[in-house]
A and B are shown apart, each in its own frame.
Chain A
């Protein structure tokens, strides 16, 4: 059933798709991490109103499919004058989506720091920002890396959703090959292998980091 020749003959085309997948993942991850840290901090320390707003954002994103967000950004936003090309639209929707998950990662990490640490910082006369910057966040950093790596691996897979807006990522190109050769199994298996090559090291890295933190 699997014709390896189909995979090999079309490997450059598959790899071109994989490159799109990779750049999309990296770009989205950078924005999502920065935004996630910001949202997480605002949620925890922004006061009642900002805390509530960020909470609504986080829960709304977590409770809806990422696919829906991609469709809104690419198909609905142009109606109100916000016309983004494919790649930026994909990055924006994935970043907005993952920022919510990453905000929760940061929140969990900050909350895992024992209360005595901030008490010790306060007892020295530090204000909240100083305690956060010099005592809490530096300790959070190590704890946040394993779950962040996990989110990164999840994001690699979720970029496949952008084939819905006809972006030529790994999955989209595999489907094209399938249609052209009338053999879907081979290019899809090929795509699966390439996804695994990308995600496995990241997940392994995450596991190693977790052991280190412990």
Chain B
């Protein structure tokens, strides 16, 4: 009961999370919590477990051990409906994963129509609004195959927003996008943050982190090794590994 008292007011509490693939443990006991409207940026070298951590939060990757409390409810398959949980957590993937057989509009409207049983008309009206919000009104009737990576990713963001999530997870949202198009996606994410969306963003975009993040969490080898405000972590890193990673990112 003490746990639930402590988690009051928190949107997300991750407690001693572990994740193994076979004998390989990629997350070795990670704990952190998040307030409503908080913006968290997760950084770390590849293989540090940051993507896996994000994927564990909405159970796309079931954790091996540990506890996740979301919006006051302990997430446990059986006790808490995982499928229901996912309605409240939007996810944006590195590879976009937009649905290639559907137009941009259909991509955005599909979730509400299928999952929330929203009437098609109403869902499409809102989908149009969301596409306008990500700057893609003119692409509503195009299929992903006819779009750039930046456009596809913005469709994916609109698709996630259509479910009215309480939390948005971004798993390296700009890593597969041509450099000159990255700003399109980051601009949308900055606007979302300004509107008060709670979000966890796995990214190496330092500029974005400085502008948007309330907190930067730095991971290495499956553990959180440093956490703090962007200026604390970027300007006064306490760990040698953070420093060496940051210098590599800055040089890249």
Contacts and interface: CB of A to CB of B under 8 A. Distances in A.
**B is a partner of A:** yes
B89 to A, nearest CB: 7
16 contacts: A114-B97, A116-B95, A116-B97, A119-B93, A120-B93, A122-B60, A122-B83, A123-B160, A124-B87, A124-B111, A124-B160, A125-B115, A125-B163, A126-B83, A126-B115, A134-B110
Contact of B90 (A122, A123, A130, A134): A123
Contacts, number: 58
A128 to B, nearest CB: 9
* Nearest 5 interchain pairs by C-beta: A125-B87, A120-B97, A124-B111, A116-B97, A123-B91
B250 interface: no
A117 B99 contact: yes
A34 B115 CA distance: 27
Interface of B: 58, 60, 83-84, 86-87, 89-91, 93, 95, 97-101, 110-111, 114-115, 156, 159-160, 163
Interface in A41-97: none
Contact of B86 (A114, A124, A134, A135): A124
A127 B93 contact: no
Contacts of A139: 99-101
Contacts of A123: 58, 60, 86, 89-91, 160
B111 A125 contact: yes
A130 B99 CA distance: 14
A127 B93 CA distance: 19
A134 B102 CA distance: 10
Interface of A: 114, 116-117, 119-120, 122-127, 130, 134-135, 138-139
A140 to B, nearest CB: 10
Given A123-B60, A123-B160, A124-B87, A116 B114 contact: no
A126 B159 CA distance: 13
Interface of A is mostly: helix
A134 B109 CA distance: 12
Contacts of B84: 125
A139 B83 CA distance: 23
Contacts of A138: 101
Contact of A124 (B95, B100, B101, B110): B110
Nearest to A127: B83
Contacts of B97: 114, 116-117, 119-120
Contacts of B163: 124-125
A160 to B, nearest CB: 38
Contacts of A135: 99, 110
Nearest to A141: B101
A205 to B, nearest CB: 21
Nearest to B162: A124
Given A124-B159, A127-B83, 19 more contacts: A117-B99, A119-B60, A120-B93, A120-B97, A120-B99, A122-B86, A123-B58, A123-B91, A124-B86, A124-B87, A124-B111, A124-B160, A125-B84, A125-B87, A130-B114, A130-B115, A134-B114, A135-B99, A139-B99
